[in-house]
Amino acid sequence: MSDSEPSVSQPPPKFPAKGDLIQLGRGLLMGGADIIPGVSGGTVALILGIYQRLITAISHCDARLFQLLIQRKWSEAAQHLDLRFVIPLGVGILTGVVSLASLMHYLLDYHLQLTLSLFFGLILASSFLVAQMVDRWTIANVIAFVASLIGVYLLVGEHSVKPPEGNLYVFLCGMIAICAMILPGISGALILILLGKYHDITGLLKTIPKELLKGNIDWNGLLTVVVFVSGCLLGLILFSKVLRWLLHNFHTLTMAVLCGLMVGSLRRIWPFKIDATPYTAEQTPEMVPFKHRIYENVWPGSFDGMFWASLALIAGAAVLVWGLDRLSQKYAMHDTSNL
């Protein structure tokens, strides 16, 4: 049964109720998807039947909500925002992201080629699905696709400009990456990879909870996470309406640009790389943080077991994405014209 409309005919059950636990579980699935580049939390929301309700709740962060808050009409404000739906879903999403962040961080550090192979297959298949959302490949759409592809391809080159440090950039990364959550087919984790902050953010999400359990507080790391989450919240409120307007008025052009962005980004996550970091005589690869290492793309030098394992992961990831797409089509969720 779809949750496209919140129930208002009956008084809400006591908290937590069965429905709250269901929303928590759905949030876990969305959060787990959001941390994996190539799998869109928006697509999972479509499959779970809560996409329209989620978009509606986000769009209700408006003047009406602030008016109710100023008037201290707490109950009406909670209903307007669909808070009973948003809170357990948000807790589930956050839990899913944090629980998988440690795994993703470990895989990038110690199993880079296989991890990138998985990401490559997920994003490659997703780009084909986004291409299918372009109704007609007109000259304008082809130009938009090629321009975004070339732009991103050059941007994510092996020797591209190092991403800036500082919490202002982290804030902007959060604002941009969160927009992918409400777009079926494109992943917020992919955006963080393109912006050069995926490894940093997953690293903080891995270490901070462990340190808190030990009674240690990394104030700098905690501040970075708070800044990132703040950027996500602001971006969700501000950009959701812009994205809905773009999808409603320039749907095919927007999808063509997104498709080009995804195809161009494949350069960044090409699984076959060599470590070209200029280590000193005293250094080993383990001593240099991942974000400071330099990798160059190469063609596979031999068809060994690692090559075939990488190929299998690419194919398996593509099948997974296509399977998720078939499920979303089953629920007739790819129609973004109702945004």
DSSP readout, 13-76?
A: PPSS-HHHHHHHHHHHHHHHHHTSTT--HHHHHHHHT-HHHHHHHHHT-SHHHHHHHHTT-HHH
- Write down the pLDDT at residue 291: 60
CA-to-CA dists, residue 231 to 163, 172, 176, 224, angstroms: 17, 6, 8, 11
Q: If DSSP codes are grouped into helix, strand and coil, which group holds residue 296?
A: strand
Of residues 238 and 232, more confidently modeled: 232
pLDDT at site 314 = 93
C-alpha span between 327 and 129 (Å, rounded): 13
Is residue 204 predicted with pLDDT exceeding 50?
A: yes
pLDDT band at 219 (very low <50, low <70, confident <90, very high): confident
Averaged pLDDT for residues 163-175: 86
Identify the top-confidence range among 117-131, 201-215, 272-286.
117-131
User: Residue 274 forms beta bridges with which residues?
Assistant: 296
Average pLDDT over residues 283-299: 71
Question: Which pLDDT belongs to residue 339?
Answer: 44
pLDDT of the residue at 287: 63
pLDDT average, residue stretch 263-288: 77
Burial class of residue 65 in the structure, from the number of CB atoms within 10 Å of its CB (0-12 exposed, 13-18 middle, 19+ buried): middle
Residue type, 331: Y
Is residue 314 a contact partner of residue 125, using CB atoms and an 8 Å limit?
A: no
- Judged against a pLDDT cut of 50, whether residue 77 lies above it is answered with yes
Please check the confidence at residue 5 and state whether its pLDDT lies above 60. Answer: no
Q: What is the pLDDT of residue 45?
A: 77
pLDDT averaged over every residue in the chain: 79
Q: What is the pLDDT of residue 96?
A: 85
SS3 275: strand
Tell me the CA distances in angstroms from 69 to 53, 55, 241, one per residue in order: 21, 21, 21
Residue 165 CB neighbours (<10 A): 9
Domain extents in the chain: 18-336
Say which residue, 37 or 229, is predicted with more confidence.
229
Higher local confidence (pLDDT), 255 or 278: 255
Residue that the structure tokens 């970075």 belong to: 224
Q: Above 70 in pLDDT, residue 124?
A: yes
What is the rounded CA–CA span in Å between residue 320 and residue 129?
12
Residues 6+ apart with CB under 8 A from 159: 294
Q: Residue 146: is its pLDDT beyond 90?
A: yes
